[in-house]
């Protein structure tokens, strides 16, 4: 999958583990993701993550590339039960690649891919209220703010708001 600024999403492979770990082992990234994301993030964490993702068919988590450079990961976690037609999107970009429009394009690519391949009606994203960069990225990618869950999360021993963004599959609008 490609677009006009040379962003592509590719399957994850074990040979990407070292670069993945080098990029992901960053407190600034960890500060804006859920706590299940390891910190420090080691090569073994990367290998474990990649092996788990290879079990998903079709793929639900993909490597983000800027040209030939691995820059991060984006994924959709399909929800369950009455929410089974909704996916929860998450992503991160390595700090050397921030501010280049990579995340916005990757979200657009992943959203299109997910609507076409994962039988989803809706995609949701949660973002901490203090993460202005990710808020802007989601809005530029076409997501709309649907709610603010006040004081809903704890990150770094701080109680924070969880902003919920969403996008509906155009086939259901």
Does residue 151 lie in a domain region?
Answer: no
Does residue 73 lie in a domain region?
Answer: yes
C-alpha 160/C-alpha 151 separation (Å) is 5
Does residue 60 lie in a domain region?
Answer: yes
C-alpha 113/C-alpha 119 separation (Å) is 10
Domain limits for position 118: 7-122
Q: What CATH number has the domain bearing residue 88?
A: 3.40.630.30
The structural domain count of the chain equals 1
Strands 69-78 and 122-128: unpaired
pTM: 0.94
C-alpha 88/C-alpha 81 separation (Å) is 14
Does residue 113 lie in a domain region?
Answer: yes
pLDDT at 2: 43
pLDDT digits (tens, 9 = 90+) for 96-121: 999 999 999 999 999 999 999 999 99
């Amino acid at each position: 999958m490609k677009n006009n600024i040379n962003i592509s999403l590719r399957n994850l492979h074990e040979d990407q583990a070292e670069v993945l770990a080098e990029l992901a082992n960053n407190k600034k990234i960890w500060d804006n993701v859920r706590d299940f994301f390891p910190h420090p993030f080691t090569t073994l964490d990367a290998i474990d993550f990649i092996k788990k993702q290879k079990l998903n068919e079709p793929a639900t988590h993909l490597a983000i590339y800027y040209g030939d450079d691995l820059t991060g990961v984006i994924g959709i976690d399909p929800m369950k039960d009455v929410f089974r037609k909704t996916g929860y999107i998450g992503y991160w970009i390595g700090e050397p690649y921030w501010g280049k429009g990579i995340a916005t394009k990757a979200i657009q690519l992943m959203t299109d891919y997910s609507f076409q391949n994962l039988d989803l009606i809706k995609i949701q994203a949660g973002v901490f209220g203090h993460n202005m960069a990710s808020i802007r990225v989601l809005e530029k990618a076409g997501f709309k703010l649907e709610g603010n869950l006040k004081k809903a999360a704890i990150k770094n021993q701080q109680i924070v708001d969880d902003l919920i963004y969403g996008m509906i599959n155009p086939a259901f609008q």
